[in-house]
């Protein structure tokens, strides 16, 4: 269903009190070129009374504690390293209203349409020279419900960090005097020594366009996959390992490349538990490390789900040692930078959103019924594992990993086997 959104003029929301000034260095992970973009998400809430007013006030209070988010990215004069200037200018906030109820659009339980993108904030005018790190739009629907359209600069926070900030806003909206977890910067704790990796030549721009699909997997099927893994190995496996194995196998079968073609799976693991000394609980920067598994197409076509899940589990088991080597500046397996995997049709990137913390955000009227990530690339094959809208159960796969010619076969295989 199409709907219309009426937006009021956007405005900067500055910290509610005085904040420190100065320039902060970012970590070696924060400075990755691939993170210099904004991640877009939609957060759907069933109820709310004057949500724009409540959230805007709480946002201003939260920025007193998370004041670097009210600043701007700058480049240092020495080497052009990315930094944050704590200017206190604020974040961008838009109030809006929609001409229908959330129920009428099924709580955004569909692939995004042109109407959906009206729920994301329009940025400040380019000629104003303003590039805020956070942009937020709160759209009130004709029911009690509302949607938060969010754009977050990935150079400042990973998913866990962004969720931690939103939870702080929500705590202040519910009447807390200060965030439950005190935020800390501490980016200097992730400062890997200089390393000399082989920089791959960028591939030519692909001539395909990835198509989006949403597939819900029932929990019974997940339990079946886990039983098969236990019967083969005598060990347990996670929901992530079992489902990613399925996605990878069926995608490989759908696109039908030569059996000798190398196929890579890449996912970014939370590296906070691997830090020594440990990061403070309030750390909200980027702290992840890529895990890559590469086998031939023929291997994936012949393997069972349990076989592939075992490969993924074995790769995860190497993560602590690989991360420790990287932090020390030691040689890794091969001479390629682990943070620059090949951006090819043969590479599948997978993210798990279930444990980031977005589902716990409660501004006073209950947690979100749906969290909807927005496709960030038409040429980088990706899949996000999350949850379907409440009260549905199971695992939701939000994918843009195959081109149109392969979409039907990919979806049919996953749906038949689930």
Query: Measured in whole angstroms, how far is the alpha carbon of residue 243 from the centre of its chain?
Result: 18
**Backbone region of residue 253 per phi and psi (left: phi > 0; alpha: psi in -120 to 50; beta: other values):** alpha
Separation CA 262–CA 347 (nearest Å) = 9
Of residues 30, 43, 154, 406, which has the active-site annotation? 154
Q: Out of 109, 122, 262, 362, pick the active-site residue.
A: 362
199, with CB counted inside 10 A (0-12, 13-18, 19+), is exposed
Q: Distance between CA atoms of 278 and 273, rounded to whole angstroms?
A: 7
Tokens of 122: 């329009």
Q: Which residue has the tokens 């995860």?
A: 316
Give the C-alpha separation, 368 to 327, whole Å: 37
- CB-based contacts of 187-190 (< 8 A; 24+ apart in sequence): 187/24, 187/25, 187/26, 187/27, 187/30, 187/285, 188/25, 188/27, 189/27, 189/275, 189/277, 189/279, 189/283, 190/27, 190/28, 190/29, 190/30, 190/275, 190/285, 190/286, 190/287, 190/327
d(CA 365, CA 344): 43
> Please, what sign has the CA dihedral across residues 155, 8, 122, 170?
positive
DSSP 200: P
Confirm whether 198 is a catalytic residue: no
Strand order in the sheet with 395-403: 210-217, 395-403, 382-386, 347-352, 262-270, 288-296
Residue 340 is encoded by which pair of tokens? 């620059």
For residue 270, the cross-strand partners are: 288
**Eight-state DSSP code of residue 235:** S
Nearest to 130 by CA among 75, 91, 96, 83: 91
Positive/negative CA dihedral, 40, 46, 51, 52: positive
User: Dihedral of CA 39/40/41/47: which sign?
Assistant: positive
Structure tokens at 284: 């909200």
As given in the structure block, the two tokens for residue 123 are 């940025």
Residue 154 known to be catalytic? yes
The catalytic residue positions are: 154, 362
């Amino acid at each position: 269903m199409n709907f219309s959104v009426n937006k009021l003029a956007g405005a900067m929301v500055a910290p509610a009190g005085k904040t420190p000034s100065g320039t902060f260095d970012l970590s070696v992970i924060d400075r990755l070129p691939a993170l210099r973009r904004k991640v877009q998400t939609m957060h759907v809430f069933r109820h709310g009374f004057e949500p724009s007013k409540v959230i805007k006030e709480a946002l201003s209070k939260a920025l007193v504690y998370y004041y670097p988010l009210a600043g701007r990215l700058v480049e240092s004069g020495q080497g052009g390293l990315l930094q944050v200037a704590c200017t206190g200018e604020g974040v961008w906030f838009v109030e809006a209203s929609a001409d229908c109820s959330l129920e009428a659009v099924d709580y955004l339980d569909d692939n995004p349409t042109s109407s959906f993108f009206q729920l994301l904030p329009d940025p400040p005018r380019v000629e104003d020279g303003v590039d805020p790190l956070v942009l937020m739009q709160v759209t009130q629907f004709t029911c009690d419900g509302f949607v938060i359209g969010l754009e977050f600069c990935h150079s400042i926070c990973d998913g866990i960090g962004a969720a931690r900030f939103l939870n702080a806003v929500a705590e202040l909206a519910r009447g807390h005097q200060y965030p439950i977890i005190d935020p800390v910067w501490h980016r200097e704790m992730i400062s890997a020594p200089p390393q000399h990796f082989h920089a791959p030549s960028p591939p030519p721009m692909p001539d395909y366009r990835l198509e989006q699909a949403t597939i819900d997997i029932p929990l019974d099927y997940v339990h079946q996959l886990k039983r098969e893994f236990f019967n083969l190995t005598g060990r347990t496996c996670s929901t992530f390992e079992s489902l990613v194995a399925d996605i990878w196998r069926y995608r490989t079968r759908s696109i039908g490349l030569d059996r000798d073609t190398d196929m890579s799976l890449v996912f970014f693991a939370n590296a906070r538990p691997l830090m020594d000394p440990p990061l403070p609980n309030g750390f909200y920067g980027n702290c992840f490390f890529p895990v890559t598994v590469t086998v031939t197409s023929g291997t994936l076509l012949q393997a069972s789900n349990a076989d592939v899940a075992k490969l993924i589990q074995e790769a995860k088991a190497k993560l602590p040692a690989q991360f420790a080597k990287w932090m020390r500046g030691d040689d890794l397996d091969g001479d390629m930078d682990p943070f620059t995997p090949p951006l090819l049709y043969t590479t599948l990137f997978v993210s798990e959103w279930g444990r980031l913390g977005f589902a716990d955000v409660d501004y006073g009227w209950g947690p979100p019924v749906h969290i909807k990530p927005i496709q960030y690339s038409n040429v980088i094959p990706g899949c996000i594992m999350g949850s379907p809208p409440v009260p549905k159960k199971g695992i939701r796969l939000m994918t843009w990993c195959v081109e149109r010619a392969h979409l039907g076969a990919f979806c049919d295989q996953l749906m038949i086997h689930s």
